[in-house]
Amino acid sequence: MRILVVEDNHRLNSSLQMNLTHEGYSVDTAYDGQEGQDLAELTPYDLIILDILLPEKNGLEVCRDLRRRRIHTPILLLTARDSVNDRVQGLDYGADDYLVKPFAMRELLARLRALLRRNHPYTSGRLEFGGLIVDPVTHIVERDRRTIDLTPKEFALLEYFMYHPDQVVTREMIEQHIWNYDFECSSNVIDVYVRRLRRKIDDPFEVKLLTTIRGIGYRLAQPQRERV
């Protein structure tokens, strides 16, 4: 999942980027409101962390303008203001959640996971499909009660497939949501990572879940039963 962090405090910005990257997210950062809005309009992020008190353009204005442009990416506002009126204003401007500084990183991560689940077919914390279980909190992956060890990037790729079951996922979608602007994606790097993932989640099992859609991308789906 790809996240945009818009925060003018360089220390907090760096801390958020480091912790989110450690959790397997792909992260881009901005230090003022206008730069953040420009990035949000250019890239289909999965989630935006947006400070309110920003130079150039404050977070509320950014949030409002993104919604006016029909950009529905979930937005989590960060602010030192903790009055009811401040929280109501932030939500009325189009934010999806509101977190007051200082905050615990565990709470921030939990709120991110909750926001990411809203538009997907999972109501609990775990992602389950065809005997495959992915836990975004512990990063434990199991299939048919067998634990599978994945690298952080393999986990991020599988998590993205799990959030889009039975859908064709193009290479462009994977590149946009799994890697950030700092990564120069070579022509075959996505195919390499998909092959590595397939070796771990499919090759040891009779039923294959991850299929290649030639010329387009990939799909995580259960095979259809043959008609008698």
pLDDT tens-digit series, residues 3-43: 999 999 999 999 999 999 988 898 999 999 999 999 999 98
Residue 124's pLDDT is 58
CA distance 209 to 100: 41
CA atoms within a 13 Å half-sphere pointing along the CA-CB vector of 145: 0
Whether 79 and 90 have beta carbons less than 8 Å apart is answered as: yes
The DSSP symbol for 136 reads T
Question: Is residue 61 exposed (0-12), middle (13-18) or buried (19+ Cβ within 10 Å)?
Answer: middle
pLDDT of 118 higher than 60: yes
CA distance 45 to 28: 9
pLDDT tens-digit map of 206-217: 999 999 998 889
Asked whether residue 160 falls in the same domain as residue 201, the answer is: yes
CATH of the domain at 147: 1.10.10.10
Residue 227's pLDDT is 36
Asked whether residue 86 falls in the same domain as residue 6, the answer is: yes
The DSSP symbol for 138 reads T
Residue 179's pLDDT is 78
pLDDT of 228 higher than 70: no
Residue 184's pLDDT is 63
Residue 16's pLDDT is 95
**Mean pLDDT for all residues in the chain:** 88
Asked whether residue 107 falls in the same domain as residue 213, the answer is: no
Place of tokens 């353009």: 57
Domain of residue 52 covers 2-117
Q: Please indicate, yes or no, if residue 7 is contained in any of the structural domains.
A: yes
Query: How many structural domains compose the chain?
Result: 2
User: Could you tell me whether strands 168-170 and 217-220 are parallel, antiparallel, or unpaired per DSSP bridges?
Assistant: antiparallel
E strands, 80-227, are 97-100, 127-129, 132-134, 141-143, 146-148, 168-170, 210-213, 217-220
Mean local confidence (pLDDT), 55-70: 94
Place of tokens 């099992």: 205
CATH of the domain at 76: 3.40.50.2300
* Domain end among 117, 149, 176: 117
- What percent of the chain clears pLDDT 90, i.e. is strictly above it? 59
